[in-house]
Amino acid sequence: MTRFLMPLAIFIVVVVFLGIGLTLNPRQVPSPLVDKPAPVFQLQQLHDNEKVFSSKDNIGKVWMLNVWASWCVACRDEHPLLVELSRLGIVPIFGLNYKDQRDTALRWLKQFGDPYVISIADTDGRVGINYGVYGVPETYVIDKEGIIRYKHIGPVTVKSLEDKILPLINELKG
């Protein structure tokens, strides 16, 4: 009897491991920055490049930093959701316009809607490096003390908003 049970057991174990392996997404690299202070930066604003935005201005509020670009196709997927979220007024969304050109970025916002309180122009991607950005879109939830509490890699979905992001924001605002 064990003659058949042993190989079967081993087979099942291997299948389980394979199953787990297949459901993991190798693109989603956990960020070491979660629960660490968000890197401080000062950058020109996208709409008015005479004005400077400093991330320190947001101390005291819970906010979202959404990294986007007009060349990023996946950003179009999540964009309607962000526009909707900004209408609800639950959380201020700030946009980090990553390695983009100003005029195309502005045109893109006109076309698809502008959910951002302020858009910040990270033209050479240096702030992106400090935030560990490696694929766009990425979204950070930052708390009142300026600590990164969550990083979402890839387009925000209804599911990720409902399961993770909104409950977290409510808890942080609490």
Partner 1 sequence: MTNNLARLQLVIIGRLCVLAMVLATFSWTCLANEAPLVAEDPALEKRMLNLAENLRCLVCQNESLAGSRADFANDLRREIREQMQANKSDDEIIDFLVARYGDFVLYDPPLKPTTWLLWFGPLVFFLGGVATLTFYLRHRRTQLEESSLTEHQRKQIESLMKAADKD
| Binding region for partner 1 (CB under 8 A) | 26-27, 29-33, 69, 71-75, 77, 99, 124-126, 128-132, 134-137, 153-155
Min dist. Cβ of residue 40 to partner 1 (A): 14
Min dist. Cβ of residue 98 to partner 1 (A): 10
User: Of 165, 116, 119, which is closest to residue 142 (Cα–Cα)?
Assistant: 165
Distance (Å, whole) CA 129 – CA 25:
22
Min dist. Cβ of residue 25 to partner 1 (A): 10
Task: Name, in order, each residue with C-beta under 8 angstroms of 93's C-beta and a sequence gap of 6 or more.
Answer: 63, 64, 65, 66, 82, 85, 86, 115, 116, 117
Distance (Å, whole) CA 85 – CA 124:
28
Phi-psi region of 146 (alpha: psi -120 to 50; beta: other; left: phi over 0): left
Min dist. Cβ of residue 139 to partner 1 (A): 13
CB of 113 or CB of 125, closer to partner 1: 125
Cβ contact 66:46 at 8 Å: no
